[in-house]
Amino acid sequence: MRFQTNKLLLHKTVFIMRFLSRQNIFSCLSLLLISLTTSYAQEGKINIKQDAKVEKLLTARMELNQDDSADERYRIQIYNGNLEGATKEQSNFKKSFDIDCDIAFKTPTYRVYAGKFRTRLEADRHLIKIKREYPSAFIITP
């Protein structure tokens, strides 16, 4: 008798656990479906309120970035000599590097300058690469 009651109790427990697990699965699925149908409605407009000074600062920064004054930039001198040598070195440099370069005449020689760098650090980084092909290159300070 005791064995039968334990067996009956075991069957009831298994039945309740199966029912609960099915009910849990059903409730999870229904919750998932409900959340999917309501979660797509997250469209809207974003209004950003910023101070007018921010806009002024942005325009001032853009103007500074457009200023391409060679007097205030670091340059790298790669050649110093006659005009023929300067034009030859300029064309060779343009083939080897993706940096702008130009020829300047300072009595009595022509010089080839490469780049217009804002900071000394930026100029130093490029100088390391350029010195591999032009060992006598050096930085001209503004």
* CATH code for the domain of 128: 3.30.70.1070
Residue 123 in this model has a pLDDT that exceeds 80: yes
Per-residue model confidence as pLDDT tens digits over 63-92: 776 655 556 789 999 999 999 999 999 999
Residue 142 in this model has a pLDDT that exceeds 90: no
Helix (H, G, I), strand (E, B) or coil at 131: coil
Q: Which domain holds residue 22?
A: 1-40
Residue 106 in this model has a pLDDT that exceeds 60: yes
Residues 30 and 77 both lie in one domain: no
At residue 21, the pLDDT reads 64
At residue 131, the pLDDT reads 93
Total count of domains within the chain? 2
Residue 3 belongs to some domain of the structure: yes
Residue 14 belongs to some domain of the structure: yes
Lowest-pLDDT range of 87-91, 104-108, 110-114: 104-108
Residues 29 and 83 both lie in one domain: no
Residue 53 belongs to some domain of the structure: no
Mean model confidence pLDDT for the chain:
79
Residue 122 belongs to some domain of the structure: yes
Residues 82 and 32 both lie in one domain: no
